[in-house]
A and B are shown apart, each in its own frame.
Chain A
Amino acid sequence: MPKQAMLAAIRRGLKRGPLTADAQAMLLGHMAHHPRHTVPGRGQLHPAGRGALFAQMVEREFGTVARLPALADVPGAVAAYLRTQNQPPALVVSPHPALAGLDFSGLAARAGSAAAHDAAALTYAFAGIAETGTLMLPSGPQTPIVNNLLPDNAIVVVEAARIVASYEDAFDLLRQAGAMPRNVMLVTGPSRSADIEQTLELGAHGPRRLHILIINGAV
């Protein structure tokens, strides 16, 4: 058994046998508690400050932000954004219940998963993380992963109330929501590469543009 041989080699180095049942129980208890390490002070702001820091960090990482009073304003904001970016008025919309009731008339909107030719996608974030302007995008039936990756223009809705301070806060929300999804993407800005002469270029394999719509985000 290669597994047993590898574990035995590690234990030889550690100069001990397998951990006792007590020691194992202690480590398992620690894992069940999953205590936090130092969380940077800038990730511990009050709610209004969090929204502002989130937006500031997104823009620092070459994303853009618009603040909307209500979910119903999303289609208009999407249409305006696509127009300013000289994009056709068409998009694929993630089949999330929050987006399902919206009136996309005037836009060629299709609910479902993005294909290679889709130029824009609208998705719904599980949470926003203020400390670095990061979106938490878990996979699931309502949130296809490909919608975060394939289109050139990624438009993401995040509710201001779901903008948390730190990564740890976002994972706490995720743990409350149930089992770990297949994928949990933490996305900070649009795709990029600096592989050519150490010079940053946006739009490597993922979206070239990341536009975030913060709902009820008036500070």
Chain B
Amino acid sequence: MVQSSKAFVENAASALEDAGLQKALGRAKPQFAKKRQAAVDRLPEFETLRDEAKAIKDHAIAHLDFYLETYAAAVEASGGHVHWCATAEDARQAVLKICLAAGAKTVTKGKSMVTEEIELNPFLEAHGVTPVETDLGEYILQLRHEPPSHIIGPAFHLNREDWESTFRAAHTDLPAERVFSERRDILTEARGKLRETFLAADVGITGANFLIAETGSSVIVTNEGNGDLTQTLPRVHVVVTSIEKVVPTVEDALALLRVLARSATGQDMSVYTTFSTGPRRAEDPDGPSEYHVVLLDNGRSGMVGTEFQDMLRCIRCSACMNHCPVYGAVGGHAYGSTYPGPMGAVLTPMLVGMEEAGHLPNASTFCGKCESVCPVKIPLPNLMRHWREREFERHLTPAALRGGLGVWAFLARRPALYRATTRVAALGLSWLGRRRGRFGWLPFAGGWTRSRDFPAPEGDTFFAQYAARRKEQG
């Protein structure tokens, strides 16, 4: 997708004024947290499993070179092919080459964030291959030419009216006077439309939630069944995935699956969890005759050994964004990046550079909720803090902010002067605001007072009050 992370502040402002978006956010946000909590409460071992999930991923990353080689060897042994791709461009070329070799005109796609990351769809279209998204949410976004706004509920920013109008505009072969009396009617129409495509497609592209070194399997998780149809019906199955998804054994994947769905949708288990290993066997009645894995790096190896290595544990459950007050206020599009929310704010600067996305780690109140719900315990607030430090070091923060921090630092290093200055300010503001108890406007604080009043200090500073109290107690 086109990156507009630089414009986060402007994007966020317009998101706050978007009535449709605010309606969708208001509906969805409390649901996410409630469902996750209920699923966690049903499983007494959940906290133990979080620790184990973290340890599994830490171990896999610490031996990533070994497990990737072992995984690739197992894929080849089962008759599949692995395409190692250092960059997004390498991955796009690899997918195109497979499609052209298969003589593909239509390609069905299961939901895959990595294909969003490498902007695969426009690339395939430009080369005469038509990709069709089959996840219901991704399907409508493709019709609307919009990027996803959430990593597991891509179209959750849309309301029912949007679905109806988009389907009417796109499916012109159906009677114009048809009525969508229930949500089910929308679903049924999409199911009918996509059935034809599933049966006609030459190549099916899916992502992977996990790769298993022991067996050379890729694992996908869906609720709709679209991923399974995508990888079963066409002649060629392409898995587009990234290097940090590999785990050693089936048992490791099972432990991670126990925390994935619960953290994501609050289900105990997604409806379809499918392990795919190589192409169809000689005696199989169905399945693809070719199986390819496009294995993407795109900046991830550069995170190994840095303070951002923890981010490679991410299993893309979306719990962090589902519980984030900033995401909950502005939605996913404001981030202007493939991955929104706290995990996106940490990952995006690594993928597209700090100049483009250095702003995103500022989109946090540091409330810590994201870290507390992360199934693999990624210290997201800390990682955002690391990015802020880097942003400051590289002089990417605005001059006014740097100036203000400079003045504050000058005072903070001189305690007596600091106390005197703050005391004058507190007493002065207290006197100025003595009538209303608050300020509707203050110099240098326009960003605050434009949308709310600033309370006037009630008397002296903390230091002065503390000193006075100590004196009283003798």
Contact = CB atoms under 8 A, between A and B. Distances in A.
Interface of A: 1-3, 5-7, 9-15, 18-19, 23-24, 27-28, 30-31, 34-38, 40-42, 57, 61, 112-113, 116, 131-132, 134, 139-141, 144-146, 148-150, 167-168, 171, 180-199, 201, 203-207
Given A141-B284, A146-B232, A198-B28, 11 more contacts: A2-B86, A38-B48, A40-B258, A140-B283, A144-B286, A148-B228, A181-B281, A188-B267, A193-B187, A196-B183, A197-B24
B90 interface: yes
A19 B65 contact: yes
A39 B33 CA distance: 25
B153 A195 contact: yes
Given A6-B84, A149-B225, A116 B199 contact: yes
A167 B254 contact: yes
Contacts of B226: 204-205
Nearest to A31: B214
A145 B187 contact: no
Contact of B269 (A11, A134, A203): A134
Nearest to B268: A132
B281 A182 contact: yes
B187 A196 contact: yes
Interface in B57-84: 62-70, 72, 78, 84
Nearest to B67: A27
Interface stretch (B298-306, B326-334, B387-395): B298-306
14 contacts: A1-B84, A14-B305, A27-B66, A37-B255, A113-B285, A141-B283, A148-B228, A167-B257, A180-B215, A184-B274, A184-B275, A188-B269, A204-B191, A204-B224
Nearest to A18: B65
A146 B286 contact: yes
Interface string B239-282: 00001000011111011011000000101111111111111110
A18 B270 CA distance: 37
B371 interface: no
A191 B224 contact: yes
A13 B275 contact: no
Contact of A132 (B217, B269, B274): B269
A149 B48 CA distance: 35
B160 interface: yes
Contacts, number: 255
Contacts of A5: 86
B232 A196 contact: no
A199 B183 contact: yes
Contacts of A195: 135-137, 140, 153-156
B224 A14 contact: no
Contact of B160 (A131, A140, A144, A196): A196
A30 B66 CA distance: 13
B251 to A, nearest CB: 5
Nearest to B163: A196
Contacts of B64: 10, 14
A15 B305 contact: yes
A87 B215 CA distance: 41
Given A6-B84, A14-B305, A186-B273, A168 B251 contact: yes
A183 B287 contact: yes
Interface string B450-465: 0000000000000000
B280 A31 contact: no
Contacts of A197: 24, 27, 158-160, 183
B45 interface: yes
Given A34-B250, A36-B251, A132-B269, A24 B66 contact: yes
B52 A37 contact: yes
Contact of B243 (A6, A24, A40, A146): A6
Contacts of A150: 229
Nearest to B258: A40
B186 interface: yes
A60 B421 CA distance: 64
A19 B226 CA distance: 40
Nearest to A186: B273
Given A34-B249, A195-B153, A182 B278 contact: yes
Interface centre among B56, B186, B243, B284 (most CB of A within 10 A): B284
Interface centre among A2, A24, A141 (most CB of B within 10 A): A2
A4 B111 CA distance: 29
A5 B48 CA distance: 37
A198 B305 CA distance: 39
Nearest to B79: A182
A2 B68 CA distance: 13
Given A9-B297, A145-B232, A171-B250, A194 B153 contact: yes
A13 B305 contact: yes
A210 B385 CA distance: 48
Given A13-B301, A19-B65, A145 B287 contact: yes
A42 B42 CA distance: 10
A5 B62 CA distance: 18
Contacts of B224: 191-193, 204-206
Nearest to B274: A185
